[in-house]
Structure 1
Amino acid sequence: MDARSEPTPFDQRLFFIFIVTFATMTVFEFAGHYVYLYPPEWRSNLITSLFTSGLAVIIAYFPLKAYYDMNTQLLSEVVRRHGVEMELREQKEHLKKTNKKLTMLSTITRHDIKNTLTGLVGFLQLVKNEAPDNPSLNEHLNKVMECSETIEQQIAFTRDYEEL
């Protein structure tokens, strides 16, 4: 968006009023020196009021132009910020949905792994009970049981970490 502003009809009218006032004041003062239609003190008061109104128009015109320029810049900044805020809200909602889906996936996966691990530990216990005489087999079964306990601890850690 272009930050420059074009003169508005209001600006143009103010400038026109200024030109008319200034021209009237100049003509009246010039004519007043040669044609004494009015007493000098009245003529002086009229010139002063015309001059004051001309200054008021000058003072009103130039700050309004700067005001319009500043408002145009502010408007473009507000529009830009509004767009950024809307984009951030959309991204935040998208992240919330994604996080919720990931949490659900993690919970289901962890639950399925624990169920499978429970079955594995149960079958290992059955095998251990059926072959109590074989020390080599018992040693291997104990190692597998330790591995399954380690897996269970790691799964519990992932649950605790997720809750943080």
Structure 2
Amino acid sequence: MSDVKPGQKVLVHAYKHNENLYRSWENVRVLEETDEVLVLINEEVLITELNGRKWKTNEPAIWFFLKKSWYNIICMFKEKGINYYCNLASPYVFEANTVKYIDYDLDVKVFNDHSFKILDLKEFNRNRISYNYSRTIVETVWEGIDELKKMIKDKRDYFNHDYVREVWQKFLDLKEQDEM
């Protein structure tokens, strides 16, 4: 476990395989950390792109960073239900008040009905060659896709809407206590 504390605001940095920072999130709030996962909350978080473009998130979200898995999962609360965005990425490290990970291009977008799309395959294949991803990394990324597909199909763990709502309620309860 790291030095991170519930309520603490942290940065999140996504890097490419060549170690160049390409996206940054500011003022992401820590909900909790366990032996398996770091849970963050996004509410109007400022995102800065590599090209300097800045924008804020539109909807509240829970961001699960699994300590041993090669993906992280964002659960977004939209008007029509919970949608998910899964980044295929290295396990994170926490240093200098920053959650850091390497993004391996592929993403899985999951809709409220648990249908999904794999995104950015062309980018993954292009970067696999230009950044010279090892065979182990390529295989590990695809294993991550397989794990995600099983969880999505079974509607389990982070893809269980009831579980996600419970985590969000925990955040709201803690937020209410802090405002008193």
TM-score normalised according to structure 2 size: 0.24
More strand by share: 2
Larger radius of gyration: 1
More helix by share: 1
